[in-house]
A and B are shown apart, each in its own frame.
Chain A
Amino acid sequence: MTQSHNDRSQDFGQALPGIIKRSLFTVAIAAIIFVPTLLLRTQASQATNTLFILYRWEFFAIGCAFILLWRVIYEIRAWQNAHGPRKVSARPQAQENRFAPYVGPVLLIAAILMPFMPFTDRYILDIGILIITYVMLGWGLQIVVGLAGLLDLGYVAFYAVGAYSYALLAEHFGFGFWICLPLAGVFAATWGVILGFPVLRLRGDYLAIVTLAFGEIIRVVLLNWRDFTGGSNGLSNIPRPSFFGIPFSQGPDGFAATFGLEFSSLQRMGFLYFLILALALLTFYISSRLRKLPMGRAWEALREDEIACRSLGLNTINTKLSAFAIGAMFGGFAGSFFAAKQAFISPESFNFMESATILAIVVLGGMSSQLGVVFSSIAMVGGIEALRQLQFLKAIFGNDFDPSSLRLLFFGLAMVIVMLWRPRGFVSSRVPTVFFREKKSVGSSMISQGRG
C-alpha cells in the first residue's frame, strides 16, 4: 500500500515539471489574448470625444488566474486518468432510460396546464410563449439541419418573410390572422424554393455561407425599402389575432362578454400561448410523420451519405428542396405569429444573431432529437432570464453593466464546448426512425465519427 503510494507520488513528482511548463505556457497565451481585451480598454473621453486607454489590471489578473486554475485542474485530471484504474469508455449500446418515453407527454401536459396555474402571471406567460416560439423554430430548422443535413445560417430570413407578409397583408388588404397564417407559410416556402433551387447543388459549407448571405440580403432590403417595409422604423399597429372572429376587447362583442367571463388582458395572452402551442405541436406532428415517409427517410439518408444516395437513384435536388421548403414554411408560420403577438416588427428582430440562436438550439439539443430542442430552448430562454436576475453583478462591474448582454458570449462558448464534448448534442443517442425487427439505439460514441 505504502509502496504503491510512494510510486504514485514519485510519478507525480516526475510529471510535475511538465505540468508546470504547460500551465505557464497556457497562461502566457491567455495573457496575450487578454491584453487587447481585458487589460486595455479604449474609452472615449466625455469632453473631446477622443479615445484614451483605460488600464484594468484587476480584470486582467482575474482572467489569467481563471485560465491558470482551469489548466491546472485539467492537468491533474489528465494525470489521474492516466494513472488511475482504467475505465471502459466504449459504449456501443446507449443506455436505455426507463423514463425516456414519458418525458415528452409529461412536458406536454405541463405546458397545457401551465396557464391555469394560480401562480401564472403575465411575465410567466410571456416567457412560456417565447420558449414555445423557439421550440417551434427549432423544430422547423431541425428538418433542414438535423434531418437533411443542410446547414442553413439564414433561417431567420423565412421568419422575417412570414412576419412581414402578415403585417403587409393586414395593412394593405385588411386580411385577418387566420387567412394570413397559411399565406405566410406559402410565401416563406416559395422563398425557400427560390433560394434553394439554384444553390442546393453546392456542398454543405458553401450552402451555409450562401444562406447567410441571403439572410443578410433580406435584412438589408427590409431596412432600406422604406416605402414598402417602413425601413428601420418597422411596421406598427399590426392587428392582433382574434378568437376565430371574436376580438379580445372590452366591448359587448368581445371575448369576455361572449363567454360570460370577466374581462382580463390575460385572456389574450392565454390565447396567444395556446395558439403558439398548437402551431408548435402541428410542427412536431408533421415533422415526426414526415420522418417515416419515404421523403423523410431520403432526408436522413442524404445526411449520412450524399454520394451513396445519388448512386441509388435518389433525386438529391428535389429531396433537399423539399426539406428546405418545409423548414421555411414553419419559419413563416412562426414569423406571422411573432408579428401578431408583438404588433410591431422591425428589421432589427431578424438579424444574424437570431439565426445563430435558432441554430444553437438545434445543435445543442442534438441535431435530430425533437426533445433535445425543447430542453435547449428552455435552457436558453431560462438562462437569459437567469442572467437578467443577476443584478448583484452590477455592484462588481459598475452600473452600466447589463448581465443579459452576456448571453451571446455564453452562447458562443456553449456551442464550442458542446461540439467538442458531445458532437451530437445533449440528447445524442440516435434512434432510427425506421428499423428492422428490433429498435437499436446507437450511442454517440459510435456515431461521432460518422461523416454526417
Chain B
Amino acid sequence: MDYLAQQLINGLTLGSIYGLIAIGYTMVYGIIGMINFAHGDVFMVGSFVSLICILLFGITGSTDIMIGIGILMIVAVIAMAISGVYGWTIERLAYRPLRGSFRLAPLITAIGVSIFLQNFVQETQGARVKPLQALFAGGFTLHEGTEFTVRITYMQILIVVLTIVLMTGFSLLISKTSLGRAQRACEQDLKMTQLLGIDVDRTISMTFVIGAMLAAVAGLMYLLYYGVIDFFIGFSAGVKAFTAAVLGGIGSLPGAMIGGVLIGLIEVLFAAYFSSEYKDVAAFSMLIIVLIFLPQGLLGRPEIEKV
C-alpha cells in the first residue's frame, strides 16, 4: 500500500510534465489540425536553456531554498522566452508557407525540423548526457511504514504546484483574454474567423509560442526531476505527451492535463510492478490501444470528416 502511494506521487509528478507538453500538441492540433512533430524537441531545447541558466546563475544544492526557488522562477521565464522564439521561428519558417498545401507536407517538414533540432543541439552541446547535481534534495515523510516510507520531495511539490499555477493562468488566458477568444474562434472555423477580421496568422503564431513556453517549463521540470538530460529526450517525451493529448481527447485542454497524468501514472506503475525496461512499450502501446478503441479520447469530440 505504501509502495503504491509512493508510485502514485511519482506518477503525478511525471504526469504534470507530460501534461504541460501535451497542451502544445493539443492546441496546435485543435487550430490547424496538424501534429507538431518538432514540439518534443522544443521541450528539449527548453531543458537545455534551463540547464545553461542554472549553471550561469550558479545555483547548487547548498543554495538556500527560498532564494533557489526565486532564481528558478527567473530561469523558467528565460527558458520560456527563448523557447517561445524557437516555437515562433519554426512556425514561421517551416509551417506557415505550407498552409494550404497537401496534408502531409507540414508533417514532413515537422519531422525535418525535429531531426535538425536534435542534431543541431547534439553538435553544439555535445552528445554526452548532461548531469546536474540535485537541487533542494529534502522532502517530507508522509507515512512511516514498516517496510516502505512514503516521501514527497520538495522538488515534487514544486513541480506539481508550478503546473497547477501555470494551468490556472493558461485557462484564464484562454477563457478571458482577446487572444484566447481568437484562439477558440480559430479552432471552430479558421476561414470564418479570418472573414471576421481576426489576424489568423498572428493567432496561430501565438499558439505556437504559448505551446513552446509551456514545453520549456516542462523541460525545466524534467531537468530538475531526473537531473540528467541529453539531446534525445524530446523524442520519447514528445511521443508520450502526444499519447497524453490523444488519450485526453485531442483539442481539449483539460483533457491534455488529465491524459498527461494518466500516462505518467501508467508509466510509473508499469515500471514499478512489471518491468522498467518495457515502460516505453507500455506508453506507446497505450497510444495504439487508445486510437483503436477510443479515437476521440476521454474529453474530445468525435471528429467529423468534411469534404
State the A residues within 8 Å of B (CB): 29, 32-33, 35-38, 40-44, 49-53, 59, 149, 151, 153, 198-199, 202-206, 208-210, 212-214, 216-217, 220-221, 223-224, 307, 352-353, 356, 359-360, 363, 405-406, 408-409, 411-416, 419-420, 423, 448-452
Contacts and interface: CB of A to CB of B under 8 A. Distances in A.
Interface stretch (B15-23, B82-90, B159-167): B82-90
Contact of B109 (A38, A41, A416): A416
Contact of A406 (B100, B112, B123, B280): B123
A413 to B, nearest CB: 5
B198 interface: no
Contacts of A199: 288, 291-292
A43 B93 CA distance: 31
B291 A202 contact: yes
Q: Is the contact region of chain B dominated by helix, strand, or loop, or is it mixed? A: helix
5 contacts: A44-B131, A205-B34, A205-B103, A307-B307, A408-B115
A224 B239 contact: no
B128 interface: yes
B287 A210 contact: yes
A37 B239 contact: no
A233 to B, nearest CB: 15
B63 interface: no
A316 to B, nearest CB: 12
Contacts of B132: 51
B74 interface: no
Name the 5 nearest CB pairs between A and B, nearest first: A412-B116, A415-B112, A412-B115, A452-B102, A213-B284
Contact of B49 (A36, A221, A363, A408): A36
A414 B85 CA distance: 22
A138 B281 CA distance: 27
Nearest to B242: A209
Given A224-B277, A451-B102, 18 more contacts: A32-B82, A33-B86, A36-B82, A37-B48, A52-B55, A199-B292, A202-B295, A204-B103, A206-B291, A214-B288, A220-B281, A356-B111, A411-B112, A412-B115, A416-B93, A420-B94, A452-B102, A452-B103
Which of A36, A38, A206, A416 has most chain B Cβ within 10 Å?
Answer: A36
A41 B124 contact: yes
Interface string B110-147: 01111111111111111010111100000000000000
Contact of A209 (B112, B118, B239, B285): B239
A181 B122 CA distance: 38
B51 A416 contact: no
Contact of B111 (A153, A224, A450): A153
A419 B115 contact: no
A203 B265 CA distance: 28
Contacts of A49: 131
Given A41-B124, A43-B126, A452-B103, A33 B85 contact: yes
Contacts of A59: 124
Contacts of A151: 104, 107-108
B280 A210 contact: no
Contacts of A213: 239, 243, 284-285, 287-288
B266 interface: no
B101 A448 contact: yes
B52 to A, nearest CB: 5
B243 to A, nearest CB: 8
Interface string B218-252: 00000000000000000110010011001000000
A220 B115 contact: no
A413 B116 CA distance: 6
B112 A412 contact: yes
Contacts of B277: 220, 223-224
A198 B292 contact: yes
A26 B243 CA distance: 35
Contacts of A217: 280-281, 284-285
Contacts of A448: 101-102
B55 A36 contact: no
A326 B107 CA distance: 24
A224 B281 CA distance: 11
Given A53-B55, A199-B292, A409 B119 contact: yes
Contacts of A405: 119, 122-123
A412 B119 contact: yes
